[in-house]
Every structure is written in C-alpha cells, then in structure tokens.
Amino acid sequence: MDIAVQRIRVTWTKRSRGGGAAARRNAVPAAFPLPDEAQPFVHRVTMSEAEDFLPRHAVERVLPEDVALEERDGRLLVSLRDGRARDVPLGRGQTLRWRINKRVTPCCGPPYYLAVTLNVVYGRAAGETFLHRPVRVLDERHRML
C-alpha cells in the first residue's frame, strides 16, 4: 500500500505559554523530511517542553491508535478517532495536513497542552513530500487561553 503518515506531537505546560519557550514551541515546523523507508510506514516526531522542543524521530509500521485509514473506491479515507465524525477523502497522489490542539487534564498530575499535526500521503512518498503545500488542509486548532 502506497501510504505514508507523519504524526508530529508537541506537548507543553503553562510554563511554555510565553517568552522564549513559547517562541521555540511556535517555531516547530508543520512537516519534516521523511525517512527513506519502504511504504507503508508512520514517521513519528515527538517534541516536548521537557526536552526543549528538540524533535525525536521514530519509524513504525502500526498506525497511532487515534488515526484510521481505509481504502474505498480508489480513495483513502482518513479519520481521527477522537469524537470527530469526519472522514477526509484523498485521491491518489494527494496529501493531507490535519492540525489539532487541546488542553489535557489527566486524572493524576497537572494539565498540559497537546498539538498534533497529521500529514498523510496516498501514493508514493519521497523525502520532501510533506515539505510542499498539501492538497488538503484542515486546521482545527483552537485558541487556548
């Protein structure tokens, strides 16, 4: 299957809501070059306040639990399993950039903030695939007070 997924996950606390830490967090790119891997694969990039927003890269063969992909009628349907009732269709050769953020309040521990950028290509991927303007963009980030 010719699919590549890049999931960029950034976490921070209220300490990074202003000043230099916020500037570093806001400078996180919406895409990174893809590794040279056989498709399908997931390129996970994680960054956190605790590690000064330095990117950590990993390649996996299993989708993140909150992402669903389904091929149907020559299209790829992309959905997030977080209560959104939306499937985003992609045709062959198309790319998607889906951005979300939220405040997370765990049962134990202080609240934190999470931003996720999901880049998906339905077709052959090259290192620079996600560095170009995507065909489809969904920006569901909310202003977080």
Percent of the chain with pLDDT over 70: 99
**Mean of the per-residue pLDDT values for the chain?**
93
Q: Which domain holds residue 76?
A: 3-140
Q: What is the pLDDT of residues 5-64, one digit of tens each?
A: 999 999 999 988 888 888 888 899 999 999 999 999 999 999 999 999 999 999 999 999
Position 11 in a domain: yes
Question: What amino acid occupies position 63?
Answer: L
Q: Which residues contact 65 (CB under 8 A, 6 or more apart)?
A: 81
H, E, C per residue of 69-117: EEEECCEEEEEECCCCCCCEEECCCEEEEEEEEEEECCCCCCCEEEEEE
Residue 87 pLDDT > 70: yes
Residue 145 pLDDT > 60: no
- Residue 44, beta-bridge partner list: 7, 58
Position 108 in a domain: yes
Task: Give pLDDT, residue 144.
Answer: 60
Q: How far is CA 21 from CA 46, 48, 91, in A?
A: 16, 11, 39
Q: How far is CA 20 from CA 10, 16, 25, 27, 144, in A?
A: 16, 8, 9, 11, 18
Paired tokens of 109 = 């521990």
Residue 85 pLDDT > 80: no
Position 41 in a domain: yes
Position 145 in a domain: no
Paired tokens of 122 = 């339905």
Domain tally for the chain? Answer: 1
Task: Give pLDDT, residue 18.
Answer: 81
Residue 89 pLDDT > 90: yes
Position 105 in a domain: yes
Position 100 in a domain: yes
